[in-house]
């Protein structure tokens, strides 16, 4: 991976080991920014902010990241270039739109920046599920895109009082039912992985969809969504917005049966977030037969050293893992058999 002008990183070049990689340095030196660069190459966007222009190093005009993703059957060169008002994505030197870029490298992130999935608005939890499911199934990704497009068109029709609203209603019901069904299928896989995964202090984690999925799948979802729309017809006419559907459905994250956003302590919220990351990795591995790259930021600040060490080694036995820490002693012990990088003032060197 090569990175230029990303946050405080002026220029960096790294070759990661296929298993465990540890980035060590004091706080605010650029460790998380390097994880962010890997996420940027995988997704074309940051996992820390929606405003990608803020990633450009102060005083620089353009951010560039380039990396080679290696799989058993292929090598793919990925490039992201961000300048004010523009974002360019390239695959093997060819500029492509986002829909062609995605799916060539997958990452799963644990970072306290991601606590918004647990503590933030409901939209964060819906997006977490839809992005994770889309990484597994291209049909899921396409359904999300199609639904978002029709949602925008239906909202425009409601706003304008258009006569073709019934046409958009039909498409909205079809795609909304399909998205609910795909989301429910992914959640069921995730729940199984959570039950058999990371459980500090014996805590139980779960994901619950509201409304609850119906046994009949898409065929059962269509009439339910029609009934929901009928029940809110006057409200939608007044607000001129689509008030029911998968974009408004609730996703509840539970710790020992209680909603985490309301009842979980700070430590429980972090443990739940980590459990979700590990469950996402496991579902991806089971479904695809390959491993996503695990990006684990400041893991040892949340777990005791022994538990953090075993967890990192277990993840890296199953695929590639990039771990950050501010503790040099732990980093050196952890990196036995892996690769260690020292990060200081935005500069990186292999230790």
Phi and psi at residue 58, in whole multiples of 5°?
A: -60, 130
What's the longest Cα–Cα distance across the chain? 68
pTM of the model: 0.89
Query: What is the DSSP secondary-structure string of 309-346?
Result: HHHHHHHHHHS-EEEEES-HHHHHHHTTTSEEEEEETT
Task: State mean pLDDT over 101-125.
Answer: 92
CA distance 285 to 265: 30
Pairing between strand 205-210 and 107-110?
unpaired
Task: State mean pLDDT over 267-287.
Answer: 93
Give yes or no for residue 337 having a pLDDT over 80. Answer: no
**98 within 8 A of 82, measured Cβ to Cβ:** no
Give the tens place of pLDDT for each residue, 296-305.
999 888 778 8
Give the tens place of pLDDT for each residue, 126-169.
999 999 999 999 999 999 999 999 999 999 999 998 888 999 99
Q: At what angle do helices 165-195 and 138-160 cross, to 10 degrees?
A: 140
CA 343 remoteness from chain centre: 25
**342 within 8 A of 348, measured Cβ to Cβ:** yes
- Sequence-distant (6+) residues with CB within 8 A of 82 are 52, 53, 55, 56, 62, 63, 88
Domains of the chain: 122-266 (1.20.1050.90)
Task: State mean pLDDT over 38-62.
Answer: 93
Give the position of tokens 């970072």: 111
Give yes or no for residue 224 having a pLDDT over 80. Answer: yes
CA distance 144 to 3: 31
Task: State mean pLDDT over 189-216.
Answer: 93
Query: What is the DSSP secondary-structure string of 260-299?
Result: HHHH--HHHHHHHHHHHHHHHHHHHHHHHSS-PEEEE-SG
pLDDT computed for residue 198 by the predictor? 86
Residue in 182, 181, 183, 207 with CA at minimum distance from that of residue 193 = 207
Number of residues assigned to the chain? 351
Q: How confident is the model at residue 3 (pLDDT cuts 50, 70, 90)?
A: very high
pLDDT computed for residue 200 by the predictor? 79
Residue in 224, 225, 193, 223 with CA at minimum distance from that of residue 206 = 193
pLDDT computed for residue 90 by the predictor? 98
CA distance 319 to 316: 5
Identify how many contiguous H helices and E strands the chain contains and give both numbers.
Answer: 12, 15
Output 4 or 337, whichever has higher pLDDT.
Answer: 4
CA 89 remoteness from chain centre: 19
């Amino acid at each position: 991976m090569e990175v230029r002008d990303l946050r405080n990183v002026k220029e960096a070049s790294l070759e990661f080991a296929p298993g465990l990689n540890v980035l060590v340095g004091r706080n605010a030196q650029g460790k998380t920014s390097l994880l962010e660069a890997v996420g940027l190459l995988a997704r074309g966007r940051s996992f820390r902010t929606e405003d990608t222009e803020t990633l450009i190093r102060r005083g620089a005009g353009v951010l560039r990241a380039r990396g080679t993703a290696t799989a058993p059957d292929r090598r793919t060169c990925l490039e992201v270039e961000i300048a004010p008002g523009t974002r360019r994505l390239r695959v093997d030197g060819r500029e492509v739109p986002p829909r062609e870029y995605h799916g060539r490298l997958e990452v799963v992130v644990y970072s306290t920046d991601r606590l918004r999935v647990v503590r933030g608005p409901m939209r964060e939890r819906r997006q977490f599920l839809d992005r994770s499911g889309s990484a597994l199934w291209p049909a899921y990704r396409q359904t999300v895109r199609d639904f978002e497009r029709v949602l925008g068109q239906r909202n425009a029709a409601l706003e304008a009082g258009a006569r073709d609203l019934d046409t958009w209603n039909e498409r909205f019901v079809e795609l909304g039912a399909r998205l609910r069904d795909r989301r429910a299928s992914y959640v069921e896989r995730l729940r199984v992985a959570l039950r058999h995964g990371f459980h500090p202090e014996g805590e139980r984690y779960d994901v619950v969809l509201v409304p609850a999925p119906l046994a009949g799948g898409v065929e059962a979802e269509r009439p339910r969504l029609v009934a929901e729309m009928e029940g809110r017809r006057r409200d939608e006419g007044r607000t001129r917005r689509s008030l029911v559907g998968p974009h408004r459905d609730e996703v509840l994250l539970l710790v020992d049966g209680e909603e985490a956003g309301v009842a979980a302590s700070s430590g429980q919220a972090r443990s739940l977030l980590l459990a979700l990351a590990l469950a996402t990795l496991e579902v991806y591995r089971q479904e695809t037969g390959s491993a996503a790259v695990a990006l684990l930021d400041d893991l040892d600040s949340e777990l005791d050293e022994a538990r953090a060490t075993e967890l990192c080694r277990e993840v890296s036995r199953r695929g590639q893992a990039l771990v950050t820490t501010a503790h040099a002693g732990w980093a050196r012990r952890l990196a036995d058999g892996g690769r260690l990088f020292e990060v200081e003032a935005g500069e990186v060197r292999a230790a």
